[in-house]
Chains A and B, each alone.
Chain A
């Protein structure tokens, strides 16, 4: 509806950028498609897009404040308003762009969809290839800080034999990957695409890692056991046993006979299910409806993303990092396509053992529990869920965005978890 829109659609912008020959959102070599299935990619958002974002933020119409003193009604107005002011005035997207463009980025079409990924090879000869999958409301932005420690361990307190080659793809519908135009892009299909990606990169012996959606994607890879996959490490494991899931669905009480750690996990989960699961319910059932908010209103998008982590991501994350991630969602207009991943799984929780078919996994599984996570998976539950649990550790800091919050710690966990798999051959 051209008459309606004062602002160009993303497709319009991309076409314009391509026509101008700019290295824009599009891979620079798209015009030469077919010659090389893996194309270099550089981020270069047109200035007009950034100006338009700032204009919208400046024109924001805000609600009145919440009627409580805490976060129980959602994002509190006062601090959010200040962050939005900063976003619309001082924040500089180009810094994020430079960070991304300092890394080798590529696009390759898999299963009909363009997949964007970062690939950083270690200078160490026997580096173990590792594919890391981000989650929602994340992106490759959350993984940037683990790249150094993983690929260059000797500069980060590790040893040469701890080195990894890392591959960090953007999930379908997220960031600079393409947006699916048909249904079916669930974790199973993403997992198959990741196996294809690793094969295409020439890796015939590799491991996988992820938290949030990266966990079910990595777990689906482990279930599928593609040639070359040695094992996985996850930091949001699907350990909730069926009887605990049933008690949660019924609104409590906890099943009898739980240990202290299990009772603590149950309490966290109960709080989450009662107070904080609405975002997932909406995206799982009505991604298009919330999508209009995410596409049209920068503060609407930011609030939706910030509400994860109980409404104050700045408490645990750097403000610029958080805004880099939100701005990436905005500039690629992927709020809606990202939300559809929840719909694709029909609301199957990523933390229920049965829903994630953990008993079907025979490959080695490693788990690290970060204390600020939605729930602290007890080792007893993890051992029930994963029959080939090769590593379990509970660390003392970090939360849901472990790679983002505690990159050095996550990297050391990944090193420890996979050490024995390196030795196995």
Chain B
């Protein structure tokens, strides 16, 4: 089969030629520079799912780690439990049904097909909100915030808490297209998001993000894109650039600085690999489901142990359930996007290096910024750090549960934070 074994692009092209409603937007053949917004439905061929299961079943395992914690990486018992669940209990079609129950679209922006979920609230004065996932996430991590954000009255809120919600897949992630040219860093994605909101007819909107989504969202703010009236973050990406300049006086500041130092020292390998050698690590991730799963599970300590407990002890934390965890990994597998997603780190590292080398501070933010610190985050940013980056911080709160994948793990709490953070912006409009 080698040599005839298709690359992802070949597979997509085949589907398109066959006219199937598939991973690809239905109208790929339509003219370029098409500004149309096309409906999208997920329907993965059964053969792809069968192939995945066959590969998981044929896994050749390494020997067990030599320690009894995560200090050598994803533990064998955790990954074996995940693999067992993946082949014996997980049903991708359920995830597909969850996605297809929501209005999904594709539109080409700046030469790349952008997939997005777009749920309009039935409340007239809902505030449009574009929310961006991160790595190793996807729109899957945001699905359970859709109902509380768009239909607040059914979820403990008031009609005036409603949002019209736009959830795009980052370029190179999920059902969005893979950039084939250089330059798709978070800044370019930020411009694409502004175009997306414009194309959807939203002239006054807010944005939200954590992880890579925080970077994109913050750059929308710094670029002062038209229509953006404020944004909310649950990760402070500036720490990556200026972490050594942030205050370390209070106990909370020292704890956060220690956590960041530990991350740089011990938890940064995945970041460095994707930022410098994305293609190299991709060969295994495209070829081996367990390699992909391990790479995705080995993110931050808090989420790793929560996920590990879900599989090994059957005790998920919040909404980080076995099904949603495997849904997300399966999405990466079936779309074959591990390489293009990893490449986004290479692009962002290049952009960051150029920004630092320029010696110029980033443009000031002119819209209100809200921030929520979740306790399990890699570095749980204290208010002083957030204020150092955003002197006119409009909203800050520290909540008592949730971690790096806040929207995924605690969708209700997360939604309540967004309602609170953006409340003042509604009256202003």
Interface residues of B in 294-328 (CB under 8 A from A): 294-295, 297-298
**CB closest residue in chain B, given A291:** B62
Q: Contact at A288–B58, with CB atoms within 8 Å? A: no
Q: Contact at A296–B73, with CB atoms within 8 Å? A: no
Q: Within 8 Å of chain B (Cβ to Cβ): is A62?
A: yes
Instruction: Specify which of A88, A288, A291 is in contact with B2 (CB 8 Å cutoff).
Output: A88
Q: Within 8 Å of chain B (Cβ to Cβ): is A177?
A: no
A292-B288 contact, Cβ under 8 Å, with A59-B5, A64-B178, A286-B73: yes
Bound complex: CA A3 to CA B96 (Å): 28
DSSP majority for the B interface? Answer: helix
**CB closest residue in chain A, given B339:** A63
Bound complex: CA A282 to CA B180 (Å): 27
Query: Which residues of the other chain, B, contact A277 by a CB distance below 8 angstroms?
Result: 272
Which of A139-147, A332-340, A369-377 lines the interface with chain B?
A332-340
Count of interface residues, chain B, beta-carbon cutoff 8 Å: 69
Query: Which residues of the other chain, A, contact B3 by a CB distance below 8 angstroms?
Result: 85
Q: Contact at B336–A307, with CB atoms within 8 Å? A: no
**Which 3 pairs, one residue from A and one from B, show the smallest C-beta to C-beta distance?**
A300-B284, A74-B280, A289-B73
Instruction: Specify which of B74, B277, B339 is in contact with A288 (CB 8 Å cutoff).
Output: B74
Q: How far is the CB of A91 from chain B (nearest CB, A)?
A: 12
Interface string of A302-328 (1 = CB under 8 A from B): 111011000100000000000000000
B positions within 8 Å CB-CB of A: 1-3, 5-9, 55-63, 65-67, 72-76, 79-80, 83-84, 87, 178-182, 266-270, 272-273, 275-288, 290-291, 293-295, 297-298, 336, 338-340, 343, 346
Q: How far is the CB of A349 from chain B (nearest CB, A)?
A: 14
Q: Contact at B287–A297, with CB atoms within 8 Å? A: yes
Q: Contact at B291–A300, with CB atoms within 8 Å? A: yes
Q: Contact at A64–B8, with CB atoms within 8 Å? A: yes
Q: Within 8 Å of chain B (Cβ to Cβ): is A259?
A: no
**CB closest residue in chain B, given A251:** B356
Q: Contact at B84–A304, with CB atoms within 8 Å? A: no
Bound complex: CA A62 to CA B182 (Å): 20
Bound complex: CA A340 to CA B279 (Å): 23
A300-B283 contact, Cβ under 8 Å, with A58-B1, A59-B1: yes
Bound complex: CA A283 to CA B87 (Å): 29
Q: Contact at A296–B285, with CB atoms within 8 Å? A: no
A-B contact count (CB 8 A): 224
Query: Which residues of the other chain, B, contact A294 by a CB distance below 8 angstroms?
Result: 62, 284
Instruction: Specify which of A1, A76, A287 is in contact with B72 (CB 8 Å cutoff).
Output: A287
Q: Contact at A293–B294, with CB atoms within 8 Å? A: yes
Bound complex: CA A335 to CA B57 (Å): 20
**CB closest residue in chain B, given A77:** B279
Q: Contact at A67–B272, with CB atoms within 8 Å? A: no
A positions within 8 Å CB-CB of B: 1, 4-7, 9, 57-64, 66-68, 73-77, 80, 84-85, 88-89, 179-183, 274-279, 281-282, 284-297, 299-304, 306-307, 311, 333, 335-337, 340, 343
Bound complex: CA A399 to CA B179 (Å): 36
Instruction: Specify which of B59, B80, B273 is in contact with A282 (CB 8 Å cutoff).
Output: B273
Q: Contact at A68–B182, with CB atoms within 8 Å? A: yes
Bound complex: CA A181 to CA B72 (Å): 13
A288-B62 contact, Cβ under 8 Å, with A62-B286, A297-B291: yes
Query: Which residues of the other chain, B, contact A5 by a CB distance below 8 angstroms?
Result: 57-61
Q: Contact at A287–B73, with CB atoms within 8 Å? A: yes
Which of B80, B266, B277, B286 is most buried by chain A, counting CB atoms within 10 A of its CB?
A: B277
**CB closest residue in chain A, given B74:** A289
Query: Which residues of the other chain, B, contact A282 by a CB distance below 8 angstroms?
Result: 269-270, 272-273
Q: A274-B276, A301-B284, A303-B280 are known contacts; what are 4 more A-B pairs with Cβ within 8 Å?
A: A62-B286, A67-B180, A297-B284, A300-B287
Instruction: Specify which of B8, B180, B278, B291 is in contact with A296 (CB 8 Å cutoff).
Output: B291
Q: How far is the CB of A159 from chain B (nearest CB, A)?
A: 45
Query: Which residues of the other chain, A, contact B58 by a CB distance below 8 angstroms?
Result: 5-7
Q: How far is the CB of B159 from chain A (nearest CB, A)?
A: 46
14 contacts between A and B (CB under 8 A): A1-B80, A5-B60, A60-B287, A61-B5, A64-B340, A66-B278, A66-B343, A278-B269, A279-B273, A281-B272, A282-B273, A289-B72, A297-B287, A303-B280
A181-B66 contact, Cβ under 8 Å, with A67-B179, A286-B298: yes
Instruction: Specify which of A64, A66, A73, A292 is in contact with B290 (CB 8 Å cutoff).
Output: A292
Q: Contact at B278–A73, with CB atoms within 8 Å? A: yes
Q: How far is the CB of A289 from chain B (nearest CB, A)?
A: 3
Query: Which residues of the other chain, B, contact A183 by a CB distance below 8 angstroms?
Result: 66-67
Q: Contact at A285–B279, with CB atoms within 8 Å? A: no
Instruction: Specify which of A1, A7, A62, A290 is in contact with B7 (CB 8 Å cutoff).
Output: A62
Query: Which residues of the other chain, B, contact A9 by a CB distance below 8 angstroms?
Result: 60-61
Bound complex: CA A285 to CA B60 (Å): 22
Q: How far is the CB of B74 from chain A (nearest CB, A)?
A: 5
**CB closest residue in chain A, given B81:** A1
Instruction: Specify which of B62, B181, B182, B273 is in contact with A292 (CB 8 Å cutoff).
Output: B62
Q: How far is the CB of B332 from chain A (nearest CB, A)?
A: 12
Q: How far is the CB of A262 from chain B (nearest CB, A)?
A: 24
Query: Which residues of the other chain, A, contact B279 by a CB distance below 8 angstroms?
Result: 63, 66, 73-77
Which of B269, B270, B280, B283 is most buried by chain A, counting CB atoms within 10 A of its CB?
A: B283
Instruction: Specify which of A76, A285, A296, A311 is in contact with B288 (CB 8 Å cutoff).
Output: A296
Query: Which residues of the other chain, A, contact B294 by a CB distance below 8 angstroms?
Result: 288-293
